[in-house]
């Protein structure tokens, strides 16, 4: 699992998970796929999730940032926001992701910012805006997650297992 540095979680969320014996930064990391792609989570709360990803190593044959790489960043950020919104007794499962690619990027770092569009009891929808280093929009995405209510012990066991492989999907 990718080790995240500099992640900011609200203290009450850290305390909630710590009381259950859960390492929150590990639980909400970008997982193995995110690690391979260089995803770094910089800030995380139910209101806003910020992460970066290098273009290098994530390009398609023409040398441009791969649209699938943008989708991975978007789903990672939206899933983290959904999980934080759902709390420790729910698992966020992605049910819809759409991405519109606005411009190509050949180098540097892209930054994604996920903000909620809807946060309900059973679903959460996040808009994710990915920009280049000149703050130009590269991709607009929207992710909707189903929030599955399960027993706290089962939810944490499942989430911990998924944390090894990435956010719930």
- Report the catalytic residues: 75
Other Cβ atoms less than 10 A from the Cβ of 94: the count is 16
- Dump the DSSP string for 88-156: TTEEEEEEEEEEEE-----SSEEEEEEEEEEE-SSEEEEEEEEE-TT--EEEEEEEEEEEEE--HHHHH
* Cβ contact 87:16 at 8 Å: yes
* Cβ contact 57:37 at 8 Å: yes
**Which structure tokens are listed for 138?**
């590269």
């Amino acid at each position: 699992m990718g080790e995240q540095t500099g992640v900011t979680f609200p203290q009450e969320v850290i305390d909630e998970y710590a009381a259950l014996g859960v390492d929150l930064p590990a639980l909400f990391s970008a997982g193995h796929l995110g690690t391979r792609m260089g995803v770094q989570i910089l800030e995380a709360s139910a209101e806003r999730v910020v992460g970066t990803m290098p273009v290098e190593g994530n390009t398609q044959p023409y040398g441009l940032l791969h649209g699938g790489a943008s989708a991975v960043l978007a789903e990672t950020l939206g899933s983290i926001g959904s999980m934080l919104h759902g709390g420790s007794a729910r698992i966020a499962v992605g049910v819809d992701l759409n991405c519109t690619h606005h411009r190509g990027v050949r180098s540097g770092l892209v930054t994604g910012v996920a903000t909620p569009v809807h946060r309900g009891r059973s679903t959460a929808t996040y808009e994710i805006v990915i920009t280049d280093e000149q703050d130009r929009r590269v991709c607009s995405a929207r992710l909707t997650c189903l929030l599955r209510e399960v027993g706290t012990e089962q939810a944490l066991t499942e989430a911990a297992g998924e944390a090894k492989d990435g956010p719930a999907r």
